[in-house]
Each structure stands twice: as C-alpha cells, then as structure tokens.
Structure 1
Amino acid sequence: MEDAKEDLGHRVWIQAEQRAAQGGVLFVRELGVKLAARHAEAADRVREYERQLAHVVRVLALTPGRDSLVQLLQLLEESQSAGGPGLLPPFVASLLAEHQQVDDLASIDFDRRGWNRLTELRACLFHELVVRGVEVEKSSPLHSWSLRRPAWHALSWLPGRRSEFEVGLNVAVDFPSRSISGSARGASTGLPDTGRMDPPTPRRSERLSLRDTATVDVHETIVAAVQAGGWGDCAAWVFMLDEPIAPDRVPALLPTLPMRCVDGLGPMDRFEVALRPAAEIWRLLFGTASMGGMYGSGVHGAYGRLWAWKSMAGLSGASADASAEEVEEQARRSTWFHFQADADWFHNDIDADYGIAALSPDRSRIAVLAATDAD
C-alpha cells in the first residue's frame, strides 16, 4: 500500500512536469482539480473519524469505573497521532476529573510504571483535581507525582495545593457539567449587590491626562485569561498615579481614565462598580478562561487555572518572574473592583461584559481589564 502511494505521487509529479513542458497546461489544471477533490474528500473522512473517536473517548471517560479508565488510558497511549478537540488532554482530563473516582485516577493514571506517553494528560488532570478540592497530600500517588512534576511544563508554575482564592470554587457552578449527549455551565459575570460603590451622578465628564504605561508583556499578561477563553474582545491599561489614593476614591476615578472601555460614557449613563474580594476576581477570571465565552468551551480547569493566575499577576503588578506564592501575596494586598458600564465599548448582554480594576498595595498604580464577548 505504501509503495502504491509513493508510485502515485511519482506519476503525478512526472505527468505534471512533462505535460507542462509540452504546453498541456489544461491537463495540469484538470489534474490539480482532481487532486483537490480527493483532498477535500479525505479531509472530510478524517474529520468524521475524529468525531467518532472523540465520542468513543467521551463514553469511556464518562463511564465511571476502573475498567473503563484503564481502557481509555490504553487507547490514548496507543493513539498519539490522532487529533481533534475532543481528544486534547485538557478536555479529557476535565472529563475524568468530573466523572471518575479520585482514588481510581490516583492509583491508575499516576502510577509511574505505566502510561509513559500521557505526560500532558497527567499534568492537566493533576491540576483539575487540585482546583476541585482534592487534597494531594492525602494521596500517595498524587503527592509523589507533585514532587516530581516536570519543571519544564507550563503548569508546573502553579502551586500544588489550592490557594485561599480557590477554596471558594463551587463544583456545581464554576465547572461544566457534561453527559454523553451534551453539557451545561453556570458561571456568571454579573455584578453583585454587595460591596456596591457606584459613584453619584452626574459624574465629571472630563478625562484625566494620565498615560497608559502598560508594556506589551504586561498587557498580554493581564488579558491572558480572556484570550484563553476565546472571548470576543479585551483590553488592558495601567496607570501610575501622581499620588497614592484611598480605595474609596477609585470608583469615581475609573470613568475619568483615558480608556476605550469608557468612551461615550456620559455623566448620567450607568456606571456600576463593586468592591470585590480577590478570591471573587480570581473566580471570575477562572470561569472566563476555563469555560470560555458564548462560542467556545475554554481551556478547561488546568489551563484555566494557569491563565487566571497570570491575569491576577498582571493586574496586581507582580514582577514577571514572581512565583505563584508571590502573586498570591501581591493580589491579597491589592484592592479589587468589578465594574460595568453603558459605554460604547461594552454590549451589555447578560454575562458577556465586565471590567476589573486593581489598586496596588501602595495605592499608586491602577490596572484595568475590560472584556466583552458579544458580537
């Protein structure tokens, strides 16, 4: 069969070159049309095989029990060349964390004697379990793997235990619910009633002359969670203040900053803002990255955790080389705000717009993230 393929390829090359040299360019074009049609047919067949294989993987992942888990891992170990979104390790790990018993996952998937080609799946699954509240120290296989996680892997930057920001995650709300036939999710970006600090109207309409100091790297770090979640648009700004300000002055200051997300906001237009705990901001960013927007499924729990942390790092002003523990401390000492507005930039669809502002611990730096997922 392989010889036949090589012979066909050789004949196509020879025929195309010979006919073109003889002036038969029409023949060459028709040859190309036939090849393009065969390519499209083969691509359709590949996509159909990917869909079918993804369904088989989903059935095994969602069928609780050691037997189905072993068969799934064996299938993935033997099918490394297969592609498609339904086969990506972050997605499969998320399914396993939702439907399989922790003890089974720990004793089977994290057994160092097997599954040598499933490092990415194992890395994702570890953080799916951590962020869902599994205490790694109480499981010998998980604890052992946490001590020998590959240092080169991006997820190794994350802490091997849940931070104080992550403890409040609710499995029923902050994670998707999947079945054989579909899925549902319940994360919300709405502004809470508690902690409201809406500035009185009419507000001042003139803009401050502050300059956005966000570098390209800082901007990309701040918007990391939104971009990972595949939202429609996002932007970030960083402003260094002339003097430190008290947190209660931030709500009135935000609409006056030179930011696109408040363009067109009149002195009487809606601008709502609430003081939020750092944990709630992290939760909002995690939902954005892990479950995605209206037209995507996000990057799931493990990488959702990573990009939520990175956005928190950029917003709080942590150094580029800060550890997760250092980012957590910087974020804990910062003051966090959540806002929404009837400005031109936002579309004000339900759960499709939000703004986040962070006042640094020294109260002289304000960083802002604005996100929208509407068309």
Structure 2
Amino acid sequence: MSDEANDLTTDSEPEYISRDEARQYALAGDIAHLQGLGSHLTSRYAAAARAARIHRTDLAYLRRILTTTPGRDSVELLLRLLGEQEAAGGSMGLELPLMATMLAQHQSPAVLARTVFTDIPEGDRLRELRTCLFHELLLRGVDPDEFPALRPGWLPPLDWLPDRRRALETEPDFTRHSVNGSASGVKTGLPTHGRLDPPTPRPTGKSPLLNSVTVDEHNLIVTAAERNWGYAAAWVFRADRPIIPAQVPALLPTLPMDCVADLGPDGRYEIAARPVGDIWSLLFATASMGRSGRYGAWGRLQAWRSLAGLCGLPFHTSAAEVEREAEQYTWFHFQTDSEFFHQDGDDYGIAALSPDGLRLAVLAATDTD
C-alpha cells in the first residue's frame, strides 16, 4: 500500500461552509473573506481528490492480490470487498471485466463455482463480474455441464452470446496478469501455409467495383477494432458477376480502398486464405487485447459482431445464424506496406467473400491512430 496513505486523516468529518454566511459576506462586499474561504475549500478539495486517488490505487492493488492468490478464502474476500466498494461509491473503477479475466486465469473452476456462482444475493451488484467470468471460463475450455453452478444472471448485451464455446472459437489468446501488471500480444502475422501472394510487379489497373458500404455495415464490421486498436475502416463491394476465391488475391490491390491506395506494383502485399476460426481468433485478440482491450467476455461479443458485419448480417442476427453464414464464406488475411498501415507489424486486413461470390467485404485495422 502507499506510504502516503498512512499520513492521511480520513476519520474526521468533512468541514462544511455556511452558505448563508458566505452570501452575507458577498452582500457586505467582504471579498477578502470570500477569497480566503475559496482558497481554503480549494485546498481541502485538492487534498480529498489526492486521497481518493491513493485509496483507489491501493484498493486496485488489493484486488489484484486477491484475484492472483489461489483459494476459496481469497475469492470470498474479493467478492465481499467488491460488493462493499460498489455499494460505497458506485463503480469506483472496480474493473469487473479485468477481475473476471484474472480470476479465470488464477483460480480453479471448482473454486469459482462454489464462490462466485453460488449464494448470489438479490439485487446482485456484481452481475457483470459473474457474466464476464462465465464467458472467460467458456473460452478457456471449461464445460459448464461439469459445473452446473456456472450459471450467472445474464447481462445485456452479453446475453446475445452463445452459452457454449462454438467450433469457430479456436485458440483464443488472453492477456496474462500478475499482481504487479499485465502483458499481451496480438498475433497478426500471416501463416506460412495458405499463402496466395500474387507475383510482382502486379497489374496497375483499377477495378470498376465501387464501395457500397452503409454506415450500419461499416460500424458493425469495425466493432472489434473500434476504440481497442488505433484506427479501422471497412468497405463492401457488390459484383454483377460472381467473384471466385482464386481472383481475390489479385483483385484486392485494385479496389478503391485507402488501405491499398498507394501500394504500387511492387509494394509488399502478402495474403493468405484462412479458416473462419483463425479470423475469429484475430478479431477476438484485437477486441480483447488491444490497447483499450475489453478482455474475454466483451472481446468475445465484439469479435462476433465484426464477424456478423463482414458476413453482411444485421446487428440483431442471432449468433447461430452468424456462425452458419460465416462458415460458408471464404476468408482472407492480408498485410501491405501502404501508408494506411504505417508499415506496422501489428496491422492487418481481412477480406470475406460471400458463398455466391457477389459480395466482398474488407476490414483494415492499424494500431496507429
């Protein structure tokens, strides 16, 4: 804990001013008295704000100690403190999604089933924690049928998510946490298998296809990268005649997209065909581990939303429909050295070709603003 906290006096009652007296000073023209009063209050406010920051930091550290110390006693005390802190000061920066991912990493499912998911009080203040933890455990391979107690009260919009880990949710990566900090790394590099890099120099002609993305489509496609990455953009092209998958690698650099606008015939352009599970994993890593990552549960939701947008499905589509459609699409992962991507190794593009070949959607994400 902060040594500074020991010097703070927190048990005394706050000092209030008499508003009537302050008004009388003003009416009497006693500005000097009001100035002294204002300086006194400003000083006390600054001290209180400083004390609040110190206490908030110390409480956050205590929560990290409890989440990373295995055992039922640690989890029960954490729940008690979280409830007290939420009741005392609202959210108080409790970081419930972070607490959920740390619990999933450091505590056994059996302990969590006997503590977090049992004896849930009426008017539960920690509903987000329980819901997030449920999805964190699912993504880590925990079978909820083996732990019947893992059944939180659902929290919109997380209640949209499947209550089972789906086949396309392959190999999710998670942030790693200790009592002193966190580490993460999004794997955006292309694999060696499935490569479809066209030969250089590439043709410099431009495709007649035009971007027809709507505002709703764009916003849904970029969900996984929105506010979690640096910048993301989306395009949708609708063709009169079917595009076959073999045409996509050569077609992408010719499309009117900022992410390839200055590529030229010899610029680095690498592309690979990927299974939909790899695309979901990339979207999940972007959403859950970016610089403003949302961790497992919210990252899972954002990955599914982006997948739906890339498949041309509306926001209200069920997860089952998104899964069926996504498995029919052909998926590509590409990287270039265009200015849009700032030549950063963490930048990437995704292209999704519809089963009928008449719709091609593209997401380009860079971790540079």
TM-score by length of 2: 0.89
Give the counterpart of 2:126 among 103, 118, 125: 118
Note if contact 1:224-1:310 (Cα within 8 Å) is conserved in structure 2: yes
Task: Tell me the equivalent position of 2:280.
Answer: 282
Q: Residues 213 and 49 of structure 1: is their aligned pair in 2 closer, same or farther, counting only changes over 3 Å?
A: same
Task: Tell me the equivalent position of 1:187.
Answer: 186
Does residue 212 (structure 1) correspond to residue 223 (structure 2)? The answer is no
Note if contact 1:228-1:307 (Cα within 8 Å) is conserved in structure 2: no
Task: Tell me the equivalent position of 1:131.
Answer: 139
Q: Helix, strand or coil for the counterpart of 1:191?
A: coil
The 5 Å alignment of 1:322-341 reads 322-341=317-336
- Comparing both structures, which one devotes a greater share of its residues to helix? 1
Deviations 1:207-251 (Å, cap 9, x if unpaired)? Answer: 33433222222211111111152x111111111112111001011
Letter in 1 for 2:257: M
Q: Residues 250 and 97 of structure 1: is their aligned pair in 2 closer, same or farther, counting only changes over 3 Å?
A: same
Note if contact 1:290-1:303 (Cα within 8 Å) is conserved in structure 2: yes
Does residue 39 (structure 1) correspond to residue 45 (structure 2)? The answer is yes
CA apart distance, 1:179: 1.4
Where does structure 2 lack aligned partners over 5 or more consecutive residues? 1-9
CA apart distance, 1:320: 2.7
Task: Tell me the equivalent position of 2:166.
Answer: 163
Q: Residues 4 and 349 of structure 1: is their aligned pair in 2 closer, same or farther, counting only changes over 3 Å?
A: same
CA apart distance, 1:307: 0.4
Note if contact 2:185-2:289 (Cα within 8 Å) is conserved in structure 1: no
Where does structure 1 lack aligned partners over 5 or more consecutive residues? none
Q: Residues 139 and 189 of structure 1: is their aligned pair in 2 closer, same or farther, counting only changes over 3 Å?
A: same
Does residue 107 (structure 1) correspond to residue 114 (structure 2)? The answer is yes
Q: Residues 4 and 66 of structure 1: is their aligned pair in 2 closer, same or farther, counting only changes over 3 Å?
A: closer
TM-score by length of 1: 0.88
Deviations 1:44-71 (Å, cap 9, x if unpaired)? Answer: 2211111100000110111000111111
Q: Helix, strand or coil for the counterpart of 1:105?
A: helix
2-side partners of 1:362 and 1:34: how far apart? 72
Letter in 2 for 1:368: V
- Percentage of identical aligned residues: 49
Letter in 2 for 1:63: T
Q: CA RMSD in A?
A: 2.5
Give the counterpart of 1:79 among 80, 85, 99: 85
CA apart distance, 1:34: 5.0
Task: Tell me the equivalent position of 1:373.
Answer: 367
Give the counterpart of 1:153 among 150, 153, 156: 156
Q: Residues 4 and 42 of structure 1: is their aligned pair in 2 closer, same or farther, counting only changes over 3 Å?
A: closer
| Number of residue pairs aligned between Structure 1 and Structure 2 | 357
Q: Residues 18 and 319 of structure 1: is their aligned pair in 2 closer, same or farther, counting only changes over 3 Å?
A: same
Give the counterpart of 2:95 among 77, 88, 102: 88
Q: Residues 194 and 37 of structure 1: is their aligned pair in 2 closer, same or farther, counting only changes over 3 Å?
A: farther
Give the counterpart of 2:338 among 332, 337, 343: 343
Does residue 97 (structure 1) correspond to residue 104 (structure 2)? The answer is yes
Q: Residues 32 and 242 of structure 1: is their aligned pair in 2 closer, same or farther, counting only changes over 3 Å?
A: farther
